[in-house]
A and B are shown apart, each in its own frame.
Chain A
Amino acid sequence: MTSTKSEITAAGRKVSLLRAGPASGEPVLLVHGGRAGVSPIASGSHIWDRAIPYLAAGRPVIAIDLPGTGGSDLGAPDVLTVEKLSEHLLAVLAALSIDSVHLVGHDLGGFIGLRLATTAPKKLRSLAIVASPMSPPNGDSLNDILFDPVPLPLWSRDSQCWVFERVSYSHEHIDDALLGASVAAAGGKPHADAVAAMKDEKARARNFGINATKGKIWAALRGDGLSVPTQLVWSSHDPQAAREGGYVLFKVIAEKQHATQFHLINRAGSFPFREQPVEFARVVASFQDGIDLEKAA
């Protein structure tokens, strides 16, 4: 199955996206992770290439580049917060004339999905939070030394290859297609704009507003809870998103949302959808199928 690349305009920004799968059906929106301009991987919709053929077997799939990554304009740099990025996703759905989606978000994309589930639940038919280290409660976490010895220059092929290996169970998925696309994403104007925006000390310290948003999310979860069916997909060997964190978040969401599931994928690190694409996709597709069937019943 091939993905088709296209561009749309949402809230004045050029948005680059991949589409695959049948024309009809409840669509899936894939939201990649990474912090534009900061993360040592130039992420984007290309990260999903191994899972898309499976996810798109039963329903239309759309994978977007977030602002400041891949082919999507950064626009006003203040977009680089979880709040603004979640509003941006709503603008993308409006531009695509899509009422609601099964949102699958990885890393920061999962956290953006979690925020959307509290602010715009009607737009999400279901939510999959995938290997998302910033989503669970963290307490006083240790300083992050994971990428301290990153090879320079940042975002070169060698550097990104090292980062992918650092967070993967196996290097097998780190192929020419991935590195080529990641280097290409790093060479684009959106990435350059995001890097420039993140040179600002205040912008860096804000860290995408993750902590500020978390407070709002816990308040919402302890209040009415999530009304969106939610699954958490974590990996056995993820050096960033520990399984305990995913299971704790599952228990917090599960207090108020009956359709909550927790999944653990074996022999995977931070990229379960690349490292074990079939196991990942069947777990995610079955949740979406089950939720659609429950709603129809």
Chain B
Amino acid sequence: MIVSSVKLSTAKGKKLPAPKQIDVQGINTRYYEAGAGEPIVFIYGGNFGSSDSASSAQVWSLNFLPLSERFKVIAFDKIGQGFTDNPVRNEDYTMASVVRHAAAFIEAMKLPPVHLVGHSRGGYACTRLALEYPHLVRSLTIVSSGTLSPRVSTNEVALSNSPYPAYSRESARWIYEGYSFDPKVVTEEWIDNVMEVLNLPKYRVGVQKMVDEGAGGRYFTPELATQKRETLGWIREGRLQRPTQIVWGQNDPTVIPEGCFDVFDLIAAHNRRTTLNIFNEAGHFSYREHPERFNALLAHFVQNAGV
């Protein structure tokens, strides 16, 4: 089989379609969908319970529409984040719930095995999903995931000492500018989307549960610590058997760049189709900082996953 060329255009002048909603095991889940062809599902980063940054599916806006020219693209809001319902019980504020919900979403959408693209915490989630639910996954793209990296993460330093109050526009901008190599990539539109989520009453309930009621320390952190040990063990055992590309920003303040070599070695030891790809002048958001080259990398990867 010979690959065909997969030339895309830029996101310029394109707008996301209207969001849709689907019931996922009782959790009202919001998502965007466009295009036709091999399905690509994006899983963004971040977590419920953050009062100065908030990811939502719109963070993929620069990738979503150009890639929809060739593929079926889907970006959804994770449980407890964006415009998707919060977990019902406090003890469900965990990574396990995030992964379970993401898998149930893919099943509810009745998709054939999907090409998962996960960033940061989402990079961990999609890796775990590929291990727990391999029948749902066709390929894996892991972007700048300190959560998956076995090395130390410097994220807590990058997030510390904000000069602005929580929930403020200035604070959100300060966070995302600090995450990016060039602060100019942080557009007003990007911050508009963050602020829209930060101002949702249900989002603030999540922050209250995680921070004020202690669900973060009681449930999320210990569950992730246990699960991460298991996940790295599973990868070392060779259980991750899907074409995998690792994408990293050389200037990411949340992880040390050498961590991506560890992730590569862990996966590549048992998985022929593993590549590592490092972007220069890219912080934590390579897919927004260099969308043309990121999209081309992803398009060629998805197009050739079966070759």
A residues within 8 Å of B by Cβ? 1, 53-54, 57-59, 236, 243, 247, 250-251, 253-254, 257-267, 276, 278-279, 281-283, 285-287, 289-291, 293-294, 296-297
Task: Give the complex CA separation of A262 and B293 in angstroms.
Answer: 13
On whether the beta carbons of B3 and A259 are closer than 8 Å, the reply is: no
Tell me whether A289 and B12 are in contact in the complex, defined as CB-CB below 8 angstroms, given that A250-B280, A258-B280 are known contacts.
no
Tell me whether A263 and B275 are in contact in the complex, defined as CB-CB below 8 angstroms, given that A286-B299, A293-B296 are known contacts.
yes
- Looking across the interface, which residue of chain A has its beta carbon closest to that of B276? A264
Q: Which residues of B contact A259 (CB under 8 A)?
A: 280-281, 290, 293
Q: Which residues of B contact A293 (CB under 8 A)?
A: 7-10, 292-293, 296
Task: Give the complex CA separation of A289 and B296 in angstroms.
Answer: 6
Given contacts A257-B280, A267-B272, 19 further A-B contacts (CB under 8 A): A53-B2, A57-B2, A57-B3, A58-B7, A59-B5, A261-B278, A263-B277, A265-B275, A266-B275, A279-B273, A282-B3, A286-B293, A287-B297, A290-B290, A290-B294, A290-B295, A293-B8, A293-B293, A297-B10
Q: Which residues of B contact A247 (CB under 8 A)?
A: 278
Question: Whole-angstrom distance from the CB of A24 to the nearest CB of chain B?
Answer: 12
On whether the beta carbons of B275 and A279 are closer than 8 Å, the reply is: yes
Binary A-proximity of B1-44 (CB < 8 A = 1, otherwise 0) = 01111111110100000000000000000000000000000000
For residue B231, CB closer than 8 A to chain A, the reply is no
User: Chain B contact residues (Cβ within 8 angstroms of A): what range?
Assistant: 35 or more
For residue B235, CB closer than 8 A to chain A, the reply is no
On whether the beta carbons of A290 and B277 are closer than 8 Å, the reply is: no
Q: Which residues of A contact B12 (CB under 8 A)?
A: 297
On whether the beta carbons of B275 and A290 are closer than 8 Å, the reply is: no
Q: Which residues of A contact B277 (CB under 8 A)?
A: 261-263, 283
For residue B301, CB closer than 8 A to chain A, the reply is yes
**Interface of chain A: mostly helix, strand, loop or mixed:** helix
Q: Can you list 15 pairs linking A and B with CB atoms under 8 Å apart?
A: A53-B2, A57-B4, A236-B264, A243-B261, A253-B280, A266-B272, A266-B274, A278-B307, A282-B301, A289-B296, A289-B299, A291-B293, A293-B9, A293-B293, A293-B296
Task: Give the complex CA separation of A236 and B6 in angstroms.
Answer: 27
Q: Which residues of B contact A286 (CB under 8 A)?
A: 293, 296-297, 299-301
On whether the beta carbons of A254 and B268 are closer than 8 Å, the reply is: no
On whether the beta carbons of A261 and B271 are closer than 8 Å, the reply is: no
Task: Give the complex CA separation of A281 and B4 in angstroms.
Answer: 12
Checking B274, B276, B281 against A258 with a beta-carbon cut-off of 8 angstroms, the contacting residue is B281
Q: Which of B3, B9, B300, B307 has the most CB of A within 10 A?
A: B300
Q: Which residues of B contact A254 (CB under 8 A)?
A: 250, 280-281
On whether the beta carbons of A294 and B292 are closer than 8 Å, the reply is: yes
B residues within 8 Å of A by Cβ? 2-10, 12, 250, 261, 264, 268, 271-281, 290, 292-297, 299-301, 303-304, 307
Q: Which residues of A contact B9 (CB under 8 A)?
A: 293
Question: Whole-angstrom distance from the CB of A263 to the nearest CB of chain B?
Answer: 5
Task: Give the complex CA separation of A278 and B271 in angstroms.
Answer: 15
Q: Which residues of A contact B274 (CB under 8 A)?
A: 266
Task: Give the complex CA separation of A257 and B299 in angstroms.
Answer: 24
Q: Which residues of A contact B268 (CB under 8 A)?
A: 236, 266-267
- Looking across the interface, which residue of chain B has its beta carbon closest to that of A261? B279
Q: Which residues of A contact B296 (CB under 8 A)?
A: 285-287, 289-290, 293
Task: Give the complex CA separation of A294 and B296 in angstroms.
Answer: 11
Q: Which 9 A-B pairs have the closest CB atoms?
A: A58-B5, A290-B293, A282-B300, A290-B296, A260-B280, A254-B280, A264-B276, A286-B296, A286-B300
Question: Whole-angstrom distance from the CB of A230 to the nearest CB of chain B?
Answer: 9
Q: Which residues of B contact A278 (CB under 8 A)?
A: 3, 304, 307
- Looking across the interface, which residue of chain B has its beta carbon closest to that of A263? B277
- Looking across the interface, which residue of chain A has its beta carbon closest to that of B251? A254
Task: Give the complex CA separation of A110 and B10 in angstroms.
Answer: 30
Q: Which residues of A contact B6 (CB under 8 A)?
A: 58, 289
Q: Which residues of B contact A1 (CB under 8 A)?
A: 2
Q: Which residues of B contact A236 (CB under 8 A)?
A: 264, 268
Question: Whole-angstrom distance from the CB of B9 to the nearest CB of chain A?
Answer: 7
Q: Which residues of A contact B8 (CB under 8 A)?
A: 289, 293
Task: Give the complex CA separation of A251 and B281 in angstroms.
Answer: 11
On whether the beta carbons of B5 and A57 are closer than 8 Å, the reply is: yes
Task: Give the complex CA separation of A181 and B268 in angstroms.
Answer: 32
Q: Which residues of A contact B272 (CB under 8 A)?
A: 266-267, 276
On whether the beta carbons of B278 and A250 are closer than 8 Å, the reply is: yes
Q: Which residues of B contact A57 (CB under 8 A)?
A: 2-5
- Looking across the interface, which residue of chain B has its beta carbon closest to that of A280? B275
Task: Give the complex CA separation of A296 and B292 in angstroms.
Answer: 10
On whether the beta carbons of A281 and B3 are closer than 8 Å, the reply is: yes
